[in-house]
Homo-oligomer: A and B are copies of this chain.
Amino acid sequence: MTRLRFAPIPASLPASVPFTGPETLERRRGAAFRARLGANENGFGPSPLAVEAMARAAAEVWKYGDPDSHDLRAALAELHGIDPAQIMLGEGIDGLLGLLVRLTVAPDEIVVTSDGAYPTFNYHVAGFGGRLHKVSYRGDAEDPDALVAAADDTGARLAYFANPDNPMGSWHSGATILAMLDRLPAGTLLVLDEAYAEFAPEDAIPRIDPEDDRVIRMRTFSKAYGMAGARVGYAIGPRELIAGFDRIRNHFGINRTAQIGALAALQDKAWLELTRANVAAARLRIAGIAQDNGLSALPSATNFVAIDCGRDGSFARAVLSALEAQGIFARMPGVAPMDRCIRISCGPEAELAAFAEALPLALTRARTA
């Protein structure tokens, strides 16, 4: 296949998908899920102001979106008390992570992350020919010391750190993050993924000067703002780094209606507060369901809860599979020992009740498998 040959880096890659979508699973099982609790989506939904703004904007979708995302960036700059030139919008954090790797990592350069952390980041590193070096979680949390040491040892270009963490829901204090920056080797840029920041305790989110050239932060409208399908994320970092994205990004890539929705969502602070309260209540509800089944829920600073199923990865996988058979979409960590857990997204009571109803049988089935 001379003509269809791929360039060397893609030629070396598997055709892989970091996550199988719930729709694909539904098609496989031939029935819709009754609870969609696997993708850390926010089933409490977007602000009604955002919904209204998007519905109103639907007829204007014949226009390309503003490639500068001027209004949305201005609103975000105001929210964070920073300069719009320190913000880059992208097609979700996923899109921005790909661009960041492309911008900063040459083929064969090293990138460090935690074994079991965000697969899509790893996918992008591999996708641009970077070499991944993984450190272990410690106590169900990403390990700042191990990450800094590995960055030092390997001369890593990037170090990925999610705070709060996905898939475990654990978190570190902002002071720990700042201390980590101070010990980061001179050539390493910290990728601080704060997708779940809005759900975290205040002291988990450090104050960092956006011009601090040691770190780029990632935020999103997919989680607390309930707009995962809109594909709007943003990076905060030094102007020089942020400007670099303009060399390579798809300038007209962000959906116009999504930009309008995100801007409206930012105005609705009451909805964000309500969402936080709903998520906090759902975390307690999920922990209660775990307890009712003799399991324990891990503490969470996110909109999901990891439930320790008390055995190994194959047991948890069997639980997950038995939940899926009952119409409950959930996911689980991929790496031991975290894979003793299943991960349940915070959602409305109807979906959590469906999970509560399905879990006992799922556990029975897994125990007798």
Contact (Cβ within 8 A) B62 A250: no
1/0 contact string of A96-113 vs chain B (CB within 8 Å): 001000111110010000
Interface size class of A (residues with CB under 8 A): 35 or more
Cα A87 to Cα B230 with chains together (Å):
22
Asked whether any CB of chain B lies closer than 8 Å to the CB of A369, the reply is: no
Asked whether any CB of chain B lies closer than 8 Å to the CB of A248, the reply is: yes
Contact (Cβ within 8 A) A2 B187: yes
User: Which of B7, B55, B64 is A55 in contact with, Cβ under 8 Å?
Assistant: B55
Residues of B contacting A238 with CB < 8 Å? 4
Contact (Cβ within 8 A) A92 B253: yes
Q: How distant is A172 from chain B, measured CB to nearest CB, in Å?
A: 22
Q: How distant is A175 from chain B, measured CB to nearest CB, in Å?
A: 22
Q: Decide: A102 near B10, CB < 8 A? Known: A229-B256, A253-B231, A261-B61.
A: yes
Asked whether any CB of chain B lies closer than 8 Å to the CB of A51, the reply is: yes
Which 6 pairs, one residue from A and one from B, show the smallest C-beta to C-beta distance?
Answer: A229-B256, A55-B55, A54-B58, A23-B66, A255-B255, A7-B106
A21-B64, A50-B58 known; 19 other A-B pairs, CB under 8 Å? Answer: A1-B213, A4-B189, A4-B213, A4-B241, A7-B106, A15-B244, A15-B247, A27-B70, A45-B60, A50-B61, A51-B58, A54-B61, A55-B58, A62-B226, A62-B227, A127-B248, A231-B252, A255-B257, A255-B258
Instruction: Using CB atoms and an 8 Å cutoff, list the residues of chain A in contact with chain B.
Output: 1-8, 10, 13-19, 21, 23-24, 27, 36, 39, 41-46, 50-52, 54-55, 58-68, 70, 91-92, 94-95, 98, 102-106, 109, 127, 186-189, 213-214, 222, 226-231, 238, 240-241, 243-244, 246-248, 250-258, 261
